[in-house]
Amino acid sequence: MTRCVVLGGGPAGDVAALHAAQRGADVVLIEERELGGTCLNRGCIPTKSLLATADVYRKIEHAATYGIEVASPKINVPAMLARKNDIVMTMRRGVEGACERKKVRVIEGHGIIDGAEVAVGDERIGFDTLVVCVGTAPKGLPFVDMTHERILTSDDILDLEVIPETLTIIGGGVIGCEFASLYATLGSKVTVIEALPRLLAGIDGRVVGQFQALMEAQGVTFLTGTGVSAVSTKGNRTTTVLEDGTGVDGEFLLVAVGRAPLTRGIGLEEAGVEVDERGWIVVDSLLATANPAIYAAGDCIGGLQLAHLASAEGARAVDNALGIEVRAMDRTVVPSCIYTHPEIAAVGLSEETAKAQGLDVQLTQTRFRGNGKALAEGEPDGVATLVVEKGSGIILGATVMGVHAVEVIHEIAVAISDGLTGEELGEIIHAHPTVSELIMDTAQHSLKLAPYLS
C-alpha cells in the first residue's frame, strides 16, 4: 500500500488526503492548526456567515418596500459571531468525520520534511509520496505595526466585537471589497484605499465601474490610484497617510494587501523542491515539484487563490502522484466569486483578456432591471456580460454582477467546458421567473433574437 503524507489540512490538503484514501493509499494528514485551513476557519465560511447576517439586516432595514412594517433592527454582535463560530465548527466536524470514515490519520503539529520522512515533534512519518498544501497567511505592511489592536488582518477582523463607526481598508481586492460591503451594510463609514488605478484587478472593467458606483451609493468611499506612505495610531484612532500627505482617520484599519505562502522553514529547499523568491512552490503542469516524490497544490503554488481550485488541484496532485489517470491540471474553467452586495462572479475570458490574446470577440450585456425574479426580490441592480467569439459564436467567458451571481455563473462554466455557442445556450429553455433566465436572455441578445431586448 502506497504511503501518502499530506502536509496541510485546508481545501487542497483535506481533499488530497481523502482522495488518496479513496484511491487505496495509506494516508497521514498533518495540520498545524484546525482542519479545513484558512477557508473554513478564517476565510470563505466565516466571512460568508457574517455577510449572510448583513443581508438579513439589509432586508429588514428595507422591509417597508416589501409591505412589511418593523421596528428598527439592532445588531447583536456577540450573537452574530456565535452563529459564525457555530457554522465553522459544524463544517470542521464534517471534515474530521470524513477523515475518520476514510481512515485518514490526522496529526496535529508542525511538519518538517526530512529526507523521505516528515518530522512532527518526536514522531517521524515515512512517505512514498508527499503532497504539500501548506496554504498562505495574510500579508502585513513593513511600515505598519501589525500587532496593534486597532490594526487588523482578515483573520483578526472576523472576531471584532464591535461595529466600527469608521473603518479604513488598505486594499481594494476581493477581501477588501467584501469587508467593505459587510461593514457598510452594518453601519460603518468605510474608506477603501487601492494603489492600482481601479478595484478588483482581473474583473471586467465595465462591471467594476458599475460595482464601484453602487458601493459608493451605499456610503463607501474609494481612493484608487494612490499608495500609503505611513500609518499611525493614537488612542482609539488610526491615521492612514496617503502618498499626497492626506490623512484618513478610522477607528480600525484593515490591511488587506494579499497573502503570503507558508513555505519557509518546512524543509522544502533541503528536499530539493524549488521555491521562488516570493516563497511560492514551483510545480510543473502535473503539479510535481523538482523532487519526484513531492507534489504541491493549493494557494502555496501561487496563481489564483481559490478554495475550489485548491481542492481540484489537491485531487489532481494525488492522482498524478499515484500514477492514476495522470494528466495536466486544467485551469481553463475556474469560476471566481466575490460575495459583496451586489455579488460578482466571473468565469473564462473577459473582453479585456480575450482581446489581449488577439481574439475577435463580441460583448453582450443584459441588465437585472429587466428580470422579474430580481425585481421581485428587491434586487434590481446588476448586469450579465457574455463574451463570445465572432464567427464561431463560441462562448469564451462571462461576468455577472447581481443577486445570485455566484450561483448563476456555473451555467456559463458548464457552457464553456462543453464548447457551447451563444445560440446553443440561448436555445436551452430556462424556467420563468428565475434569475438564471437572464443568461438565456443574454445569449439570445448576442444574436439579436431576445424577444424583449433585441
Would you kindly state where each structural domain of the chain is located, as residue ranges?
Answer: 3-138+260-322, 151-257, 342-445
Q: In angstroms, rounded to a whole number, what is the distance separating the alpha carbons of residues 54 and 28? A: 39
Q: In angstroms, rounded to a whole number, what is the distance separating the alpha carbons of residues 231 and 168? A: 11
Look up the CATH superfamily of 342-445: FAD/NAD-linked reductase, C-terminal dimerisation domain (3.30.390.30)
What are 4's strand-pairing partners?
A: 27, 129
Is residue 214 a contact partner of residue 228, using CB atoms and an 8 Å limit? Answer: no
CA 145 to chain centre: 26
Is residue 130 a contact partner of residue 268, using CB atoms and an 8 Å limit? Answer: no
Question: Looking at 19, 308, 410, 432, which residue is catalytic?
Answer: 432
Q: Catalytic residue at 432?
A: yes
Is residue 327 a contact partner of residue 35, using CB atoms and an 8 Å limit? Answer: no
Is residue 438 a contact partner of residue 408, using CB atoms and an 8 Å limit? Answer: yes
What pLDDT, on the 0 to 100 scale, is given for residue 1? Answer: 87
For residue range 375-404, list pLDDT tens digits in order: 999 999 999 999 999 999 999 999 999 999
> What is the percent of the chain where pLDDT is above 90?
98
**Is 3-138+260-322 in CATH node 3.50.50.60?**
yes
C-alpha cell at 28: 497521514
For residue range 149-174, list pLDDT tens digits in order: 999 999 999 999 999 999 999 999 99
Closest CA to 446 of 403, 389, 399: 389
Q: Do domains 151-257 and 342-445 have the same CATH topology?
A: no
Q: Can you give 252-300 as a three-state secondary structure string?
A: EEEECCCEEECCCCCCCCCCCCCECCCCCECCCCCCECCCCCEEECCHH
Q: Is the pLDDT of residue 177 over 70?
A: yes
Q: Is the pLDDT of residue 23 over 80?
A: yes
151-257: CATH number: 3.50.50.60
Cis before 342 (ω within 30): yes
For residue range 29-56, list pLDDT tens digits in order: 999 999 999 999 999 999 999 999 999 9
- In degrees and rounded to multiples of 5, residue 24 shows phi and psi of 95, 10
Burial 283-296 (b: 16+ CB within 10 A, else e): beeebbbebeebbb
**Predicted confidence band at 454 (pLDDT cuts at 50, 70, 90)?**
low
